Amino acid sequence: MKPKPRVLLLSATSGAGHMRAAQALEKAFLARGDCLVEHIDALHYVSKFFQRAYDKAYISLIRRAPELMGLLYDRTDQPWRHLRRRLTLDRLNTGPMIRLLKRVQPDLCVATHFLPAEIIAWLIAKKKLRARSAIVVTDYDVHAMWLCRTVDRYYLAIEEAAEYLAHIGVPREKLRVTGIPIDPLFATPLPLPEARKHLGLDAEATVVLISAGGYGIGPVEQLVKDLLGLPRAWQIVAIAGKAEKTHKRLEELAKVASKLPFGAPRLCAVGFTTEMDKYMAAADLMVGKAGGLTTSEALARALPMALIEPIPGQEERNADHLLEAGAAIRCNNPPAAAWKIVTLLDNPARLHQMREAARKLGKPAAATAIAEDALWLVPSS
């Protein structure tokens, strides 16, 4: 009997989206039962200095100097330039990853971050790795950092990304528009009443879901205060993510809101959760960042979005695509965000149009589609 192909998924913790995409793919590959699957965080196989630079420096930049992050994103987005220089730096710091790949010799490598993708491509080019390789781009645009010469497949969010890559020289047969992989749970329909009952939310009142992302980044507290100050009998569900201090302060606001008279807004403060699929199914509108994974999850639930302060660079480009499609609005001025949100919610016809636009864009089965296609890359004999 032929042994099952060995699949190695490689992600990185510099931004929660890369990890979540790999975790979604892990579920999809495992559900097939016809392959062996392992998921590793590439940053566990680099030098300590490099790990800090990739992880902590990234979070620090988007918290304290987002404009600099945007500048770096734009300046480095030069297709096929500086590949050798970047590879030289990465090779100096990824010795443990290189040794792991040589030792394991997987049949298929799937990278949801550009760092391991680049190392895999180099090893294949040098004939030190026999694996087939695929890159899963976790945003709507494809930055130059994702580009590699020796890769068998690119999995992309939208058709425009495929047209762009084809235009700059990537063979079309390597391109697949699947959507960004999200947890297969999002492919299972969940009626709004059922989701609200499971979460203990009011079945009738409007639900506004505020998500700060996995790291709790963004003006969550002030926005919640502004929304609580409006005379609306809605439910505000605020997800603080891993930001424990933010979660505690939101819980204090929730206690105050619970003492307000009947008909006033209510607040449900949530920390890190594994039930975003249910919260999105229960909501009428999501307010938050424009990360590739979060927005793909919302689209899968046909959930309209109000985007707050997208991070310059990839999030701004993500936001542009969602605005163009009519699935989101953008709140450029945080002090006016609450007004803009209530104005949208007071316009049911527009909200319905946005929901339908989101439904058309959503690709809830992306992870399953990628797993199926990627395994065809592995030789059958």
DSSP 259-298: TSPTTS-EEEEE-S-S-HHHHHHH-SEEEE---HHHHHHH
Q: What is the pLDDT of residue 338?
A: 93
The average pLDDT across 165-177 equals 97
Residue 112 confidence class, pLDDT cut points 50, 70, 90? very high
Q: What is the pLDDT of residue 60?
A: 67
| pLDDT at position 172 over 70 | yes
Q: What is d(CA 297, CA 288) in angstroms, rounded to the nearest whole number?
A: 12
Pick 263 or 199 by higher pLDDT: 199
The 10s digit of each residue's pLDDT in 196-239 is 999 999 999 999 999 876 545 557 888 999 998 888 888 999 99
Residue 169 confidence class, pLDDT cut points 50, 70, 90? very high
Residue 242 confidence class, pLDDT cut points 50, 70, 90? confident
Q: What is the pLDDT of residue 98?
A: 94
DSSP secondary structure letter of residue 76: T
The 10s digit of each residue's pLDDT in 271-299 is 988 999 999 999 999 999 899 999 999 99
Q: What is the pLDDT of residue 59?
A: 66
Q: What is the pLDDT of residue 237?
A: 96
Residue 309 confidence class, pLDDT cut points 50, 70, 90? confident
Q: What is d(CA 322, CA 343) in angstroms, rounded to the nearest whole number?
A: 19
| pLDDT at position 369 over 70 | yes
Residue 261 phi, psi (nearest 5): -65, 160
The 10s digit of each residue's pLDDT in 35-81 is 999 999 999 998 887 777 766 666 666 667 677 778 888 888 889 88
| pLDDT at position 109 over 60 | yes
The 10s digit of each residue's pLDDT in 125-157 is 999 999 999 999 999 999 999 999 899 999 999
The 10s digit of each residue's pLDDT in 313-328 is 899 999 999 999 999 9
Q: What is the pLDDT of residue 231?
A: 84
| pLDDT at position 367 over 90 | yes
- Extended strands (E) in the chain: 6-11, 36-41, 108-111, 132-136, 153-156, 175-177, 207-211, 235-239, 266-270, 285-288, 305-308, 328-331
Q: What is the pLDDT of residue 72?
A: 80
Comparing 57-71, 189-203, 303-317, 333-347, which segment has the lowest mean pLDDT?
Answer: 57-71
Architecture of the domain spanning 6-182+365-375: 3-Layer(aba) Sandwich (3.40)
Q: What is the pLDDT of residue 213?
A: 61
Q: Which of 292, 99, 310 is nearest to 217 (CA)?
A: 310
Domain spans in the chain, listed from the N-terminal domain onward:
6-182+365-375, 188-361
Q: What is the pLDDT of residue 58?
A: 66
Give the 3-state DSSP-derived string for 91-146, with helices as H, strands as E and coil as C. Answer: HHHCHHHHHHHHHHCCCEEEECCHHHHHHHHHHHHCCCCCCEEEEECCCCCCCHHH
Number of residues in the chain: 381
Architecture of the domain spanning 188-361: 3-Layer(aba) Sandwich (3.40)
Q: Answer yes or no: same fold for 6-182+365-375 and 188-361.
A: yes
